[in-house]
A = this chain, B = another copy of it.
């Protein structure tokens, strides 16, 4: 049985908290974690600096120097979400990607004829963390994984990007 009595004052939902953190950072200049911690407390999030540090890491928030000699935590540039909507709008779900194979440190993506450039573009834009770069022919994409990224990780991300609908 589900618990209908969600206690919002005490809510410890990480996802929600991350959202709130993003909002705060978008609207005001935060120079250190203590400061942000204070604002979060005001909003009912009773966490420690350790957790906040992890949250900021998860959000990929960077600490950057300002011209006035202070610092500011800044959100990463908006990343295109890998949403179902997006996925269903381009060929990603049209089966343009035929196969993925590996040879040494390189990966080869075979596509339908003519699709390689388009597929490569998708990969470049949506797997920036895992992929160093791509080079497209007509029906083949050469994919260079970032050093230290495993084959599994590449497979996973390619799967996510080009997942078939059922």
Residues of A within 8 A of B (CB): 56-58, 60-69, 74, 76, 101-106, 108-110, 117, 120-121, 124, 129, 132-140, 142, 144-149
Chain B residues lying within 8 Å of A121, measured Cβ to Cβ, are: 138
| A132 to B103 Cα, complex, angstroms | 8
The listed residue with most B CB atoms (<10 A of its CB), out of A58, A67, A148, is A67
Contact A124 to B102, CB < 8 A, known contacts A57-B65, A64-B76, A129-B68:
no
The answer to whether B60 touches A144, judged by C-beta atoms less than 8 angstroms apart, is: no
Residues of B within 8 A of A74 (CB): 62
What chain B residues lie within 8 Å of A66 (beta carbons)?
60, 129
What would be 29 A-B contacts, judged by CB atoms less than 8 Å apart?
A57-B69, A60-B64, A60-B65, A60-B66, A60-B67, A61-B64, A62-B63, A64-B76, A68-B129, A68-B148, A103-B105, A103-B144, A103-B146, A104-B105, A104-B147, A105-B106, A106-B106, A106-B144, A108-B133, A120-B138, A121-B138, A124-B140, A133-B137, A133-B140, A133-B142, A134-B137, A135-B135, A135-B140, A142-B142
C-alpha spacing A96/B129, complex, angstroms: 21
State how many copies of this chain the complex holds: 2
Q: Within 8 Å CB of A145, what residues of B?
A: 103
Quick check: B65 and A61 within 8 Å, CB to CB?
Answer: yes
Contacts of A101 in B (CB 8 A): 132-133, 146-147
